[in-house]
Structure 1
Amino acid sequence: MTLDDLRRWEDSGAGWRVIHRGPEGATVSLLRCDGGEEVDRFVTDDPEILAHIGVRVSSEQPAR
C-alpha cells in the first residue's frame, strides 16, 4: 500500500480505521464505502502514510 493507493481509496468514498498503532508502525483496516465492512487491512511503517493518518483513528476524522 502506498500513500497514492490510500488516497485513491479515500477518493472513491471508502474509509479506513487504525486497528493498532505502535513504534513499529500502524495496522490499518480498509472499509467499504457502503457500511464500513472491512475488506482488507495492511501494516505500514511508511512515513508518508503515517503522516497522512496522523493522530486520527479513522478517515472520518478531519485531517489536522
Structure 2
Amino acid sequence: MNASSSSASDDAAERLRRWESFGATWQVLSRDEHGVVVSMCRCDGGEEVERLSSDDPALLEFLGSRRSSDD
C-alpha cells in the first residue's frame, strides 16, 4: 500500500503535517498490519476532501496511537 496521489518526493507524514499546519483535520479510518487509511478533512466543517492510504513508516511513527488530529 503506497501513499495515494503523492509524488515519490512527497512522503505521507510530511503531507499530513502540512495538512494539519493549515488548520485542516484528519482522522484514522483504519489501521492494520498493511498500513493506515486516513481521512483528510476541511477545517471549516470536517467534510472529507481526500483519503490517504499508506504503509510509510514515517507516517505510522507520526500518527503513533493517535486516532485524529484532535488527539
The structure whose RCO (Cα within 8 Å, separation 6+) is larger is 2
- Within the alignment, does 1:25 sit opposite 2:4 as a pair? no
Instruction: Give how far 1:6 is off.
Output: 1.1
Instruction: Give how far 1:4 is off.
Output: 1.6
The match for 1:16 among 14, 19, 26 is 26
After the TM superposition, list the runs of 4 or more consecutive aligned residues in structure 1 that deviate by more than 6 angstroms.
none
- Within the alignment, does 1:58 sit opposite 2:68 as a pair? yes
Structure 1: unaligned runs, 5 residues or longer: none
Seq. identity, %: 49
Instruction: Give how far 1:42 is off.
Output: 1.4
Task: With the length of structure 1 as denominator, give the TM-score of the two structures.
Answer: 0.89
Q: Distance in 1 between matches of 2:15 and 2:50?
A: 13
Instruction: Give how far 1:38 is off.
Output: 0.5
CA RMSD of aligned residues (A): 0.9
- Within the alignment, does 1:5 sit opposite 2:15 as a pair? yes
